[in-house]
């Protein structure tokens, strides 16, 4: 598939057909990877790998709260 490079303000862009975006489940953002002769666009997965990272933290006992979740002077009485 070929696409034209178009001017967008001071930048350049490529229009990606909507059916292609839909089939790749790309909505708002993409990850760009560069090689010597190509650009790869992939769906952005901002939280990919978080579950594994949290498991490692738990194994190292590094998942402790940094700030207490209840303060000494906290009042739980309802507002009037």
Contact between 13 and 22 (Cβ < 8 Å): no
Model confidence pLDDT, tens digit, residues 22-79: 998 888 889 999 999 999 988 888 788 888 999 999 999 888 888 877 777 777 777 7
- Distance (Å, whole) CA 51 – CA 74: 32
Domains of the chain: 5-59 (2.10.260)
- Distance (Å, whole) CA 74 – CA 56: 33
Contact between 59 and 67 (Cβ < 8 Å): no
Two tokens at 40? 């790869």
pTM: 0.50
């Amino acid at each position: 598939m070929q696409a034209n490079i178009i001017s967008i303000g001071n930048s350049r862009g490529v229009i990606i057909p909507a059916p292609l975006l839909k089939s790749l489940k790309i909505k708002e953002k993409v990850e760009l990877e560069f090689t010597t002769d190509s650009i790869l666009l992939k769906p952005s997965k901002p939280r990919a790998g978080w579950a594994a990272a949290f498991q490692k933290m738990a194994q190292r006992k590094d998942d402790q709260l940094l700030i207490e979740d209840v303060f000494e002077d906290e009042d739980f009485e309802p507002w009037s």
